Amino acid sequence: MDFQKMLTEQTCTCGKTHSCNIKHVLIEPNVLEKYQALVADYKHILLVADQNTYEVFGKDVEKALGTKVENLCVLKRDGILVPNEEAIAEMQTFLTEETDLIVGVGSGVIQDLCKHVSFEAKLPYHIVATAPSMDGYASVGSALILYNVKVTLNCRVPEAIIADTNIIKDAPMEMIQAGYGDILGKFSCLNDWKLSRVVNDEYFCQFVYDLTMEMVYRVKDSGEALKNRDPEAIQNLMEALIGVGIAMAYVGNSRPASGSEHHLSHYFEVVGLLRDEPYFNHGTDVVYSTYYTQKLREMLLGLDEIKDHVAETKEEREAHFYAIYESAAKEIIALQDKMGWYEIDRVPTYKAKWDEIKEVLREVPSSEQIKAYIESVGLDINEFAALYGDEKIQNALKYAKDIKDRYTVLWMYYDLFV
């Protein structure tokens, strides 16, 4: 993939100029030789890893950077490393007046920490990826858990993203499956975006849509090869994950990469954290949820007639929010009050545009096909219902939309079925 071209600013027929502030993306075997040239101008690097990623690749990066490494911060924990205020403070103790670059070696958590600490310190950062597990490498959002609350803070994109195919192909299989799942989820969110253009006249960019869909097509049939850790398939997946991140930067938000399937996955995570209940890792939740959002599209396509929506009262609705979201309910109510979407009757629009809407809904592969993709990478959709149970899944389909300020098929399902 020609990243250098993708990272060059381009004007678009949608009226926007699309750009991304990442300067370099290097994904190849034995990447460190080339990487050395990219850090030529830096002299005082803070290198960050956790004890696993340090063993896996951190010490090789340390060797390659040589005397440029001013400080090494290896975050050691007995259990899992949480991106919280404690980890942030620990990293900050390694910064000096002279530090000119932060290099993180790892995936999600290390990346979120480096994003935040570098942003606060006004320093550039590089991420050396150890797993093709999610599409956040190229994004601005840093997902942290501060004082036990999950927050996403806007920071900056990395100056460089580096991955050695020889290293990431040996990542834990559930991380590779999650990366595949995060990409497969784009079938769902891209469709949500198109749907919202029809229903709400939302801004839509065909170029970014096509670019993101291209990433899905690069990866969708490689489940089997990924299961076998085929280096080419792994390289493709990593490129697609970063490509999607660039697509997000192009529109300035996560619209091309996150829709109803991500809202469901956030629901399971938020409710799981509130109630101390288990949930799948991000991309796995996303691909399982994609199967369920596709089931909704199929239900909608099977409608014989569109009935008027009988809305519950505001009191009834808020009582449900408190029952489901407990301490987080207030925030959710405030968000939905601000959006005002409960006050809008969308049924007349659905009736007027039903043929066009059906055409859009038909574009996603069938739930059976999605199930086949899920199986191809060694996952099993039955695990989803087994972990969450029917009631929790039904609640997610009804209430996950309320966590976000984004129109998706979940709203259409609410308007026409709930």
- Near Zn ion by CB under 5 A, which window of 146-154, 178-186, 301-309, 360-368? 178-186
Q: By C-beta, is 46 or 251 nearer to Zn ion? A: 251
Q: By C-beta, is 11 or 51 nearer to Zn ion? A: 11
- Minimum distance from residue 261 beta carbon to Zn ion (Å): 9
SS percent in the chain: helix, strand, coil, step 5? 60, 10, 30
| Contact status: 274 vs Zn ion (CB under 5 A) | no
Q: By C-beta, is 160 or 247 nearer to Zn ion? A: 247
| Contact status: 14 vs Zn ion (CB under 5 A) | yes
- Minimum distance from residue 396 beta carbon to Zn ion (Å): 16
Q: DSSP string covering 95-157, please?
A: --TT--EEEEEESHHHHHHHHHHHHHTT--EEEEES----SGGG-SEEEEEETTEEEEEE---
Question: Strand pairing of 69-75 and 101-106?
Answer: unpaired
- Minimum distance from residue 258 beta carbon to Zn ion (Å): 6
- Near Zn ion by CB under 5 A, which window of 7-15, 170-178, 334-342, 357-365? 7-15
Buried/exposed code over 234-268 (b: 16+ C-beta within 10 A; e: otherwise): bbbbbbbbbbbbbbbbbbeebbbbbbbbbbbbbbb
Q: Which of 12, 69, 74, 145 binds Zn ion (CB under 5 A)?
A: 12
Half-sphere exposure of residue 133: CA atoms within 13 angstroms, side-chain side: 21
- Minimum distance from residue 16 beta carbon to Zn ion (Å): 5
Q: Where are the beta strands (DSSP E) in 181-272?
A: none
Which of 324, 322, 318, 348 shows the shortest CA–CA distance to 336? 318
Phi, psi angles (nearest 5°) of residue 73: -115, 105
Q: By C-beta, is 119 or 207 nearer to Zn ion? A: 207
- How many residues are given for the chain? 418
- Near Zn ion by CB under 5 A, which window of 14-22, 221-229, 321-329, 389-397? 14-22
Q: Which of 203, 204, 207, 342 binds Zn ion (CB under 5 A)?
A: 207
Q: By C-beta, is 73 or 205 nearer to Zn ion? A: 205
Q: By C-beta, is 91 or 184 nearer to Zn ion? A: 184
**Distance (Å, rounded) from C-alpha 317 to C-alpha 329?**
11
Count residues near Zn ion (CB under 5 A). Answer: 6
- Minimum distance from residue 206 beta carbon to Zn ion (Å): 7
| Contact status: 213 vs Zn ion (CB under 5 A) | no
Q: By C-beta, is 99 or 289 nearer to Zn ion? A: 289
- Minimum distance from residue 94 beta carbon to Zn ion (Å): 30
Give bridge partners of residue 47 from the DSSP assignment: 72, 103
- Near Zn ion by CB under 5 A, which window of 11-19, 95-103, 121-129, 300-308? 11-19
- Minimum distance from residue 414 beta carbon to Zn ion (Å): 23
Q: Which amino acid is at 131?
A: A
Helix ranges (H only) for 21-104 are 32-38, 51-53, 59-65, 85-92
Q: How many other CB atoms are there within 10 angstroms of residue 95's CB atom?
A: 19
Q: By C-beta, is 123 or 183 nearer to Zn ion? A: 183
- Minimum distance from residue 315 beta carbon to Zn ion (Å): 35
Largest CA distance in the chain: 71
Q: Which of 49, 129, 205, 233 binds Zn ion (CB under 5 A)?
A: 205
| Contact status: 182 vs Zn ion (CB under 5 A) | yes
Question: Strand pairing of 69-75 and 45-50?
Answer: parallel
Which of 363, 132, 354 shows the shortest CA–CA distance to 225? 132
Contact 233, 171 (CB under 8 A): no
Element (H, E) at 178: helix 173-184
Q: By C-beta, is 12 or 32 nearer to Zn ion? A: 12
Q: By C-beta, is 99 or 142 nearer to Zn ion? A: 142
Which of 160, 395, 166 shows the shortest CA–CA distance to 264? 395
- Minimum distance from residue 12 beta carbon to Zn ion (Å): 3
- Minimum distance from residue 250 beta carbon to Zn ion (Å): 7
- Near Zn ion by CB under 5 A, which window of 103-111, 144-152, 202-210, 347-355? 202-210
Which residues contribute to the site for Zn ion (CB under 5 A)?
Answer: 12, 14, 16, 182, 205, 207
